[in-house]
């Protein structure tokens, strides 16, 4: 080799080596849900120990959230400093940032990152995006003076749907305030802004009702499998509401009625209509356990559904649901109260319909909008009510025909308690096996011809917990599928692409690993 060709080869090598080390362009970042638009520019912002955060008034909570998150992601203590103008991440509110209330803009250049939103929530979502641009620490960013390089460019973003939710069933198994807070932290990174808590079911009553104290004393004392259950005091619930609202997340309380009420019937016999004693010689089943009218039922720790009902013909039942709806509404700042209404298989339709209508009136009386599982569409719904489509499109269509809206949670796509495949060690499979691509590859507006974009308030992924007993099991069924559902709910359909999603997910897998999140390593992803 001549000297010249050696130099040439060496230069080429250096060029290639540098090139492979050059950070990816902003448009190639791994943000989930994928933003509406990303444009790349040359250069970028180096986040380091002397970087600063500055904020406009009203955004102190967001500035603190950013500081804490950067500390946990990078170890850096980024200080909040008013008026910093170089080497700074600036948070501001500007009504022109987006036409959407939750829309935000991020501009990244050499000395500055600007995160501007239409509202505090919008800035908070912008921060979630920004934090996903910070590289996962590796060898080349450790050492005494680590720098985290973020490529330059602009991101413009806003959600497709205003309601992006997850549901946690705390009735089948009870989860502590801290477990719920941990989940709130994990899901708010994906811009989920509603957490629906399924607070009562046959197996447990999980929220203190001061005027009916036995609900928690008796009804809260067990769970599926016979464990000790538990409940939230009203102070606990307020703390969950407060913690969620700091993350711009609305709590949606659900008290399931008139079915799924054994824990209430076991606490107060006067609510129990009883059911016919089985024919002589018939084997008693869960469905016959309601026994004698007016008498408390035994506590129930099995998994069957659909055997219980409140006595819809007694005035005391309406006093009961009014007290419950009032006490919970008083400590719920969000607009919705969820009345359940699903699988009331032992309530006659002629009793079910007036019951739902009365419950809806009581919810309205206490200033809330009614949410209910899709069966509630058999009743006359108010235009402010929302039917949650989980099982039957025809019910959702009935709700739409009455002028109500729908929340989309099809069990075959969005149920986080469905197993991934036949080998999944927890979960159920009555609706489907839901692999990651099944959770991703669907569009809420094409499930049924008659359910159109304008009828849909959003998407929610429910986690029922018959088989789920702890934080690690919650994580395993939730991730990565919740990331897929979050993208269904936030990103415009024309930006969504399975191949892109699965390659972006790799970065999130590294984060979950680092944060000890027990996620499912789907074979569909090259982790
Ligand atoms: C059906 S989904 C139910 C729940 C169960 C769930 C298990 C719905 C409205 N009702 O009671 O927990 O299936 O997947």
Residue 252 and residue 106 share a domain: no
Residue 91 pairs in a beta bridge with 55, 115
Q: Which regions in the chain score pLDDT beneath 50?
A: 11-21, 278
Which pLDDT value is given to residue 287? 53
**What is the bridge-based pairing of β-strands 148-157 and 104-108?**
antiparallel
Which pLDDT value is given to residue 18? 39
Which pLDDT value is given to residue 288? 56
Which pLDDT value is given to residue 388? 98
**Does residue 464's CB lie within 6 angstroms of at least one atom of ligand 1?**
yes
Which pLDDT value is given to residue 146? 81
Is 526 contained in some domain?
A: no
- 260 CA to centre of ligand 1 in angstroms: 10
* Residue 199 CB coordination number (10 Å): 24
Residue 471 and residue 348 share a domain: yes
Is 7 contained in some domain?
A: no
Q: What angle do CA 316, 318, 324 make, to 5 degrees?
A: 105
Residue 197 and residue 93 share a domain: no
Alpha-carbon dihedral sign for residues 263, 269, 271, 273? positive
Q: How many domains does the chain have?
A: 2
**Does residue 305's CB lie within 6 angstroms of at least one atom of ligand 1?**
yes
- 251 CA to centre of ligand 1 in angstroms: 20
Last residue of a domain, one of 104, 129, 157: 157
Global pTM value: 0.94
CATH number at residue 375: 3.20.20.80
Cβ atoms of 59 and 93 closer than 8 Å: yes
Residue 114 and residue 226 share a domain: no
Is 467 contained in some domain?
A: yes
Residue 116 and residue 222 share a domain: no
The closest residue, in CA terms, to atom 2 on ligand 1 is 390
Range of the domain at 479: 163-496
Residue 504: partners with Cβ closer than 8 Å, 6 or more residues away: 29, 30, 31, 32, 34
- 431 CA to centre of ligand 1 in angstroms: 10
Annotated active-site positions, please? 343
Which pLDDT value is given to residue 281? 58
The closest residue, in CA terms, to atom 7 on ligand 1 is 464
Which pLDDT value is given to residue 292? 85
CATH number at residue 66: 3.30.379.10
């Amino acid at each position: 080799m001549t000297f010249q060709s050696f130099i040439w080869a060496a230069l080429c090598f250096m060029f290639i080596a540098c090139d492979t080390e050059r950070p990816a362009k902003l448009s190639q970042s791994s943000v989930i849900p994928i933003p509406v638009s990303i444009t790349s520019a040359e250069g970028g912002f180096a986040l380091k120990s002397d970087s600063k955060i500055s904020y406009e008034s009203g955004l102190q909570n967001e500035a603190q959230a950013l500081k804490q998150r950067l500390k946990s992601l990078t170890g850096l203590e980024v200080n909040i400093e008013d008026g910093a103008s170089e080497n700074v991440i600036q948070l501001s509110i500007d009504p022109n940032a987006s036409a959407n209330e939750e829309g935000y803009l991020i501009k990244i250049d050499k000395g500055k990152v600007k995160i501007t939103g239409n509202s505090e929530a919008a800035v908070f979502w912008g921060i979630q995006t920004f934090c996903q641009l910070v590289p996962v620490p590796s060898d080349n960013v450790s050492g005494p003076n680590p720098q985290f390089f973020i490529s330059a460019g602009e991101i413009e973003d806003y959600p497709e749907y205003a309601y992006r939710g997850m549901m946690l069933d705390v009735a089948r198994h009870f989860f502590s305030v801290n477990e719920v807070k941990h989940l709130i932290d994990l899901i708010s990174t994906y811009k989920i802004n509603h957490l629906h808590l399924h607070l009562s079911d046959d197996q447990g009553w999980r929220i203190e009702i001061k005027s009916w104290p036995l609900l928690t004393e008796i009804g809260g004392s067990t769970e599926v499998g016979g464990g000790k259950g538990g409940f939230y005091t009203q102070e606990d619930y307020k703390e969950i509401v407060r913690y969620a609202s700091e993350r711009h997340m609305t709590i949606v309380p659900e008290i399931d009625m008139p079915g799924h009420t054994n824990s209430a019937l076991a606490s107060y016999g006067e609510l129990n209509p009883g059911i016919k004693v089985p024919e002589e010689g018939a084997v008693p089943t869960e469905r016959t356990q309601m026994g004698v009218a007016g008498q408390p039922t035994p506590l129930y720790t099995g998994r069957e559904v659909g055997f219980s009902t409140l006595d819809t013909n007694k005035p005391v039942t309406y006093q009961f649901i009014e007290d419950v709806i009032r006490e919970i509404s008083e400590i719920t700042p969000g607009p919705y109260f969820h009345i359940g209404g699903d699988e009331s298989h032992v309530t006659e339709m002629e009793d079910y319909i007036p019951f739902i209508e009365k419950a809806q009136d009581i919810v309205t009386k206490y200033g809330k909008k009614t949410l209910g599982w899709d069966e509630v569409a058999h009743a006359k719904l108010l235009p402010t009510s929302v039917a949650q489509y989980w099982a039957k499109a025809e019910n959702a269509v009935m709700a739409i025909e009455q002028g109500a809206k729908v929340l989309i949670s099809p069990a075959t796509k969005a149920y986080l308690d469905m197993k991934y495949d036949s080998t999944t060690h927890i979960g159920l499979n009555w609706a489907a096996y839901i692999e990651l691509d099944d959770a991703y590859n669907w569009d809420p507006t094409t499930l049924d011809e008659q359910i159109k974009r304008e009828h849909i308030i959003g998407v929610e992924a429910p986690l029922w917990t018959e088989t789920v007993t702890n934080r690690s099991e919650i994580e395993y069924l939730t991730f990565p599928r919740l990331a897929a559902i979050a993208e269904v709910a936030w990103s415009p359909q024309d930006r969504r692409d399975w191949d892109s999603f699965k390659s972006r997910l790799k970065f999130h897998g590294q984060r979950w690993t680092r944060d000890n999140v027990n996620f499912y390593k789907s074979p569909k992803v090259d982790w």
